[in-house]
A and B are shown apart, each in its own frame.
Chain A
């Protein structure tokens, strides 16, 4: 008997590696052996493939079946190899042509009845297939929509192993089966949250627009009920649509996390708001054998909102420092390093103290000064240092509610147009650099002699620096915010007014 050979994909993070699947029968007592570092789910393929083949009418001889997954040293996980293993085994018997399956990459989990079940991570896996230069990929019917999002590769959807074998030229009678589809696939809902819902707090609303325009991280400090969550949830609505690369990334992470992907790539930036009991693994991703993406990876391209930030474990928050710095989440384990995109915009919200009333006009704080200090000290200096915008959000008063002018409030649509215009202006200015938004620009570039602002414009921060009110790093952050404010107003360069307002957006914590 000959060797059946085909291909499948092993995913580590979002990176897919083509795996060659070989099957051979040898004249030994019946046994099914899978070699090439399979995990538990993949090892159980032996008990899925044999019944599935039998129930599909594809007879496999009662001999020793050895399946080799190479490269042998690469650890492989999951049930997505079932289809490739079954077809390689059938090809080893000669019932289908080995040359036919060798040209195609196969993905899919088998049910005992021989039907194919949709699997997670189809989008990144098919992207890897296209990148490796294969022309055809065979996937379960339930994954076809998702697989077809990847350009440049022909997608064959099959409902069962029998149909897969027939496609490859096996002489079997087709038996129509009900394909297994993925439950709950829905196009993402339209976001009904509008910036115009926010009453009062015009400074905070403006701060969110600035954050969206420059991609700056935000820290919102205010008593309970002041609208911090409301503001943060409206930030994704202010961001422009995702560019094609980010859209593929966002959809790939969703696919890997087992969330519905729908018929087209995600267009809108995601919002992730993990609860404050989240562990480091839940936030940035983790796991021992299969390394799964966390909330930060799912928020890449969009907004990661941490409500009640001081309530998070300190080590959990500090795990965000590396992705904030590099835009990439690397998870190191003994057997592999997984990388996920980590270009999220961070929004932290916190009460000023454990009871939440400190600094509000209408009620008294019951916390002692040391408790208050310790509360916000849970947010480490290095973390806060990376957050450009820090604003206080006061509770609104009944007078503000009554005088609120519905017509004058900024709608998300109008704000987004301003953001898009400001981003275009920044991108044009930064065209010759590796950066596209102001938040990415380092201080030395802003302070370069050819771009240095006049002494009049920077007078306020020069004085603050002189007096020790801000550090050099803070100085750079104010400059960066100043540029975003100038971009929003269509100014050539930040004026003294822009710098002054930028300083205000920085100073909430210090006051």
Chain B
């Protein structure tokens, strides 16, 4: 596994722990379909939360949030509706969140969370 994939895995893991600590229930991870992948799907009260996790080892190439472009958001939305179609039993409201993990080598990670980005 390439180093960047490993970093991404670690970031998703850290994000899931962070959200669980906030009281979210993680109900799906790395759900794939033909259009792409959803990093995390969680339940927050009555809402289904689709979470895009962006992980960086440093800020040299910009903040992780800056990597979430309008195009990526549009795809996330398509993926969310496909997930809902595949899971008809999950009801309630739907929202999309983003989590940024900055995890420099050998230091503790910084985690930031934005709600309702779309």
A positions within 8 Å CB-CB of B? 27-30, 62-63
Alpha-carbon distance between A58 and B66 when the two chains are bound, in angstroms: 18
Interchain CB contact (< 8 A) of B66 among A27, A28, A30: A30
Supply 8 A–B pairs (Cβ within 8 Å), ascending by A. A28-B114, A29-B65, A29-B73, A29-B114, A62-B62, A62-B63, A62-B66, A63-B65
B42 to chain A, nearest CB (A): 18
Asked whether any CB of chain A lies closer than 8 Å to the CB of B80, the reply is: no
What 10 additional pairs, Cβ within 8 angstroms, besides A27-B114, A29-B65, A29-B114?
A27-B115, A28-B114, A29-B68, A29-B73, A29-B117, A30-B63, A62-B62, A62-B63, A62-B66, A63-B65
Alpha-carbon distance between A27 and B100 when the two chains are bound, in angstroms: 13
Residues of B within 8 A of A27 (CB): 114-115
Alpha-carbon distance between A30 and B115 when the two chains are bound, in angstroms: 13
Asked whether any CB of chain A lies closer than 8 Å to the CB of B98, the reply is: yes
Are A28 and B63 touching (Cβ within 8 A)?
no
Residues of A within 8 A of B73 (CB): 29
Residues of A within 8 A of B62 (CB): 62
Chain A residue at minimum C-beta to C-beta distance from B112: A62
Residues of B within 8 A of A29 (CB): 65, 68, 73, 98, 114, 117
Residues of A within 8 A of B63 (CB): 30, 62
| Interface residue ranges of B78-101 to A (CB < 8 Å) | 98
A293 to chain B, nearest CB (A): 42
The tally of residues in B whose CB lies under 8 Å from a CB in A reads: 10
Residues of B within 8 A of A28 (CB): 114, 117
Residues of B within 8 A of A30 (CB): 63, 65-66
Alpha-carbon distance between A132 and B65 when the two chains are bound, in angstroms: 42
A464 to chain B, nearest CB (A): 80
Alpha-carbon distance between A210 and B33 when the two chains are bound, in angstroms: 92
Alpha-carbon distance between A444 and B98 when the two chains are bound, in angstroms: 80
Residue from B114, B115, B117 having most chain A Cβ neighbours under 10 A: B114
| Interface residue ranges of B41-75 to A (CB < 8 Å) | 62-63, 65-66, 68, 73
Q: 7 shortest A-B CB distances, which residue pairs?
A: A62-B63, A30-B66, A62-B65, A30-B65, A29-B117, A27-B114, A29-B68
Alpha-carbon distance between A27 and B117 when the two chains are bound, in angstroms: 9
A208 to chain B, nearest CB (A): 68
Residues of B within 8 A of A63 (CB): 65
Alpha-carbon distance between A30 and B73 when the two chains are bound, in angstroms: 13
B64 to chain A, nearest CB (A): 8
B109 to chain A, nearest CB (A): 16
Alpha-carbon distance between A31 and B62 when the two chains are bound, in angstroms: 13
Alpha-carbon distance between A142 and B65 when the two chains are bound, in angstroms: 38
B84 to chain A, nearest CB (A): 22
Alpha-carbon distance between A17 and B65 when the two chains are bound, in angstroms: 38
Alpha-carbon distance between A30 and B68 when the two chains are bound, in angstroms: 9
Chain A residue at minimum C-beta to C-beta distance from B115: A27
Residues of A within 8 A of B114 (CB): 27-29
Alpha-carbon distance between A27 and B65 when the two chains are bound, in angstroms: 11
Alpha-carbon distance between A29 and B63 when the two chains are bound, in angstroms: 10
A65 to chain B, nearest CB (A): 13
Residues of A within 8 A of B65 (CB): 29-30, 62-63
Chain A residue at minimum C-beta to C-beta distance from B63: A62
Alpha-carbon distance between A27 and B66 when the two chains are bound, in angstroms: 13
B101 to chain A, nearest CB (A): 13
B58 to chain A, nearest CB (A): 14
Alpha-carbon distance between A28 and B114 when the two chains are bound, in angstroms: 6
Alpha-carbon distance between A363 and B63 when the two chains are bound, in angstroms: 82
A458 to chain B, nearest CB (A): 82
B97 to chain A, nearest CB (A): 11
Chain B residue at minimum C-beta to C-beta distance from A27: B114
Residue from A27, A29, A62, A63 having most chain B Cβ neighbours under 10 A: A29
A61 to chain B, nearest CB (A): 9
B50 to chain A, nearest CB (A): 15
Alpha-carbon distance between A63 and B68 when the two chains are bound, in angstroms: 12
Alpha-carbon distance between A27 and B113 when the two chains are bound, in angstroms: 9
Alpha-carbon distance between A29 and B64 when the two chains are bound, in angstroms: 10
Residues of A within 8 A of B98 (CB): 29
A346 to chain B, nearest CB (A): 57
Residues of A within 8 A of B115 (CB): 27
A511 to chain B, nearest CB (A): 77
A18 to chain B, nearest CB (A): 34
Alpha-carbon distance between A28 and B65 when the two chains are bound, in angstroms: 9
Alpha-carbon distance between A62 and B63 when the two chains are bound, in angstroms: 7
Alpha-carbon distance between A30 and B66 when the two chains are bound, in angstroms: 6
| Bitwise interface map of B from 16 to 50 toward A, beta carbon under 8 Å scored 1, else 0 | 00000000000000000000000000000000000
Alpha-carbon distance between A29 and B71 when the two chains are bound, in angstroms: 13
Residues of A within 8 A of B68 (CB): 29
Alpha-carbon distance between A62 and B115 when the two chains are bound, in angstroms: 15
Alpha-carbon distance between A29 and B65 when the two chains are bound, in angstroms: 6
Alpha-carbon distance between A62 and B73 when the two chains are bound, in angstroms: 17
Residues of A within 8 A of B66 (CB): 30, 62
Residue from B62, B65, B115 having most chain A Cβ neighbours under 10 A: B65
A46 to chain B, nearest CB (A): 14
Alpha-carbon distance between A27 and B62 when the two chains are bound, in angstroms: 17
A139 to chain B, nearest CB (A): 33
Chain A residue at minimum C-beta to C-beta distance from B73: A29
A57 to chain B, nearest CB (A): 14
B100 to chain A, nearest CB (A): 8
Alpha-carbon distance between A62 and B64 when the two chains are bound, in angstroms: 9
Chain A residue at minimum C-beta to C-beta distance from B72: A29
Chain A residue at minimum C-beta to C-beta distance from B114: A27
B49 to chain A, nearest CB (A): 15
B51 to chain A, nearest CB (A): 14
Alpha-carbon distance between A29 and B66 when the two chains are bound, in angstroms: 7
B66 to chain A, nearest CB (A): 5
